[in-house]
Amino acid sequence: MYTVGILDRFIGNRISASFKKNLRNVLGFAPGKTALYQAALTHRSVRDNVDENNERLEYLGDAILSGIIADFLFKKYPYKEEGFLTEMRSKMVNRNKLNEIAIKMGIKKITQFNKFDNSLKISQIFGNTLEALVGAIYLDKGFKQTQRWVLERMIMPYLFMEDLENLEINHKNRLYGWANKNGKTLEFETLNERIEGGRRLFTIGAVVNGELITEAKAYNKKDASQIAASLALEKLGLNKIAENGDGE
């Protein structure tokens, strides 16, 4: 359990004025329990103890964010079926999208992580940190203010519903569709698997007709293969085809 006392002992006097200023710029309000936010912005690569990093807050924030997004979509689309709402929620809170939002918000600049680990720089940890931040806001300010923060600081500036409605997020399915249509063999191969920061890091390659087209790294095979597929679509020019309305 996160308690301010434990976190204060962990952080001591290291919550600097500059950190508070940068944090306030990201949040848009003055935080109450600053120690909670310090934990939310601390990756396990620099603090392995469960009460000193953001993994528990990430778990909480993921659930809170999912509920807020579900409520938002339920009210915005009163006549849409469950499948549509579920797909839209996935588009709004998938790892790539959350990571993109986190970086645009400036969260990467104030996250404490092992900057000598190059794999972390290209991973999805900043999206995870954003979820942890949502968890910290919930514990600090309560549900209503967290809901308002998500609407005003995430959904309104970064999540455009009309664009998301037309967004294809399953890159693997698109790539498989293209391969089948053109008589090509597509496989996703595990190129490497190793332990990084106590977690298993996978390198997955998109292989077309036996040729490695692209590769990507992530802490699970599903995310790595989706990223590799997205890169392959871009490399093969298939994203441009879709944008021009010429099909896959």
Burial code of 163-196, b = ≥16 C-beta within 10 A, e = fewer?
eeeeeebebbebbbbbbeeeeeebebeebeeeeb
Cβ atoms of 239 and 175 closer than 8 Å: no
Q: Which of 52, 58, 131, 215 is catalytic?
A: 131
Residue 62 is among the residues annotated as catalytic for this protein: yes
Catalytic-residue membership of 246: no
Catalytic residue among 62, 140, 215, 223: 62
Side-by-side strand order, sheet with 211-218:
186-196, 199-208, 211-218
- List the structure tokens of 127: 């999206």
Q: What is the CA radius of gyration of the chain?
A: 20
Q: How far apart are CA 236 and CA 239, in angstroms?
A: 8
Please spell the DSSP secondary structure of 51-79, one letter per residue.
Answer: TTSSHHHHHHHHHHHHHHHHHHHHHH-TT
Enumerate the active-site residues.
Answer: 62, 131
